[in-house]
Amino acid sequence: NFDRVEGMMLGLAIGDALGITTESMLPDSRKQKYGEIRDYLPNRYTSEARGFPSDDSQLAYWTLEQINRDQGFTPDNVAQRFCRERIFGIGSTVKKFLKNYKSGKLWYQAGPRSAGNGALMRIAPMLLPHLKSATTKLWVDTALSAMMTHNDSGSTAACLSLINILWQLLERKTPPQPEWWLNMYITVAKELETNLYRPRGGNFTEYEGPIWKFVSEKVTQAYQEGLSVEQACNRWYSGAYLLETVPSVIYILMKHGDNLEEAMVRAVNDTKDNDTIAAIVGTAVGALYGKAQIPVRWLDNLSGRTGLNDDGKMLEILAESGKLWG
């Protein structure tokens, strides 16, 4: 059902676009200034309340565009594609990757060790060339795509975990139970992580260990206490560090995975790195519910851009993907 695949990719773009205009604001400050955000806001460059992309959408859709062109994942070609156009709101790790790659390092040497969320946010397209003939090459492609920009075991584990979750969601007939999200993440990640991480702040500064264990302990505790998304995310913070992003995503899906719109609205309003967290949450609920269940106002007002002036480009890329992989 390619509607579910379109839902996955459009959920990513919509989450990014809903969040980008208030990215990095603390939830309380955002609420005081804007109230509850449920629709696109005008940005600093235009008064139009439309959905425009940031790096999350750009890198994901450029990856998919290149996969379509190459009839599969060719890492060096994707790396070259990332170099070709301006990236809006580029993260520090991807910026370092591009600098390394342009200086002559090979694609598999250019990625810094970083536990930022810049690989996780763009990983969903790796599923598409494997939809009809699932083999272990899906995991190889995912790992290579992840380490290209973020050469870190926690990041690669998170990417593989998310791809596994998305694969399962595309085939589900009903929303999973809350604990499913947590268990599915941990099952994959705990077999792959080799690094130890420490929080940057929040309530758990004494922690040192793998991301999966932090998620297992702290998300479970917050869920048992019945915390709201904002309360829980304020405990561990909700920035671009995977020790913050991953528990935030999993908690939102546990609390609101039975409602596509509410899950995305909570990601946009209740987290700090809200464009990326909403993009990842949107990827998951989009895969579960499909394009047909995405609010029409979000679809109608999405620019579909991947660059400065290419309105509708996302839809062109998805249409081509449907012909190739659907």
Tens-digit pLDDT profile for the chain (326 aa)?
999 999 999 999 999 999 999 999 999 999 999 999 999 999 877 788 999 999 999 999 999 999 999 999 999 999 999 999 999 999 999 999 999 999 999 999 999 999 999 999 999 999 999 999 889 999 999 999 999 999 999 999 999 999 999 999 999 999 999 999 999 999 999 999 999 999 999 999 999 999 999 999 999 999 999 999 999 999 999 999 999 999 999 999 999 999 999 999 999 999 999 999 999 999 999 999 999 999 999 999 999 999 999 999 999 999 999 999 99
Q: What span, in angstroms and rounded, lies between the C-alpha atoms of 242 and 15? A: 18
CATH assignment of the domain containing 81: 1.10.4080.10
Domain that holds residue 225: 2-325
> What's the pLDDT score for residue 133?
87
Q: Each residue of 284-309: pLDDT tens digit?
A: 999 999 999 999 999 999 999 999 99
Q: Give the chain's domain count.
A: 1
> What's the pLDDT score for residue 134?
81
Q: Report pTM.
A: 0.98
Mark 305-323 as b/e (b = at least 16 C-beta within 10 Å).
Answer: bbbeeeeebbbebbeebee
Q: Each residue of 122-160: pLDDT tens digit?
A: 999 999 999 998 899 999 999 999 999 999 999 999 999
Mark 206-220 as b/e (b = at least 16 C-beta within 10 Å).
Answer: ebeebbbbbbbebbb
The one-letter amino acid at 204: F
Sequence-ordered list of residues with C-beta below 8 angstroms from that of 165, at least 6 positions apart, any chain: 181, 184, 185, 284
Q: How far is CA 96 from the centre of its chain?
A: 20
Sequence-ordered list of residues with C-beta below 8 angstroms from that of 163, at least 6 positions apart, any chain: 123, 124, 126, 127, 138, 139, 142
> What's the pLDDT score for residue 222?
99
Q: Each residue of 240-250: pLDDT tens digit?
A: 999 999 999 99
Q: How many C-beta neighbours within 10 Å does residue 156 have?
A: 24
Per the prediction, the chain carries an average pLDDT of: 98
> What's the pLDDT score for residue 43?
83
CB 224, CB 192: distance < 8 Å: no
Pull the structure tokens for residue 76.
């060096």
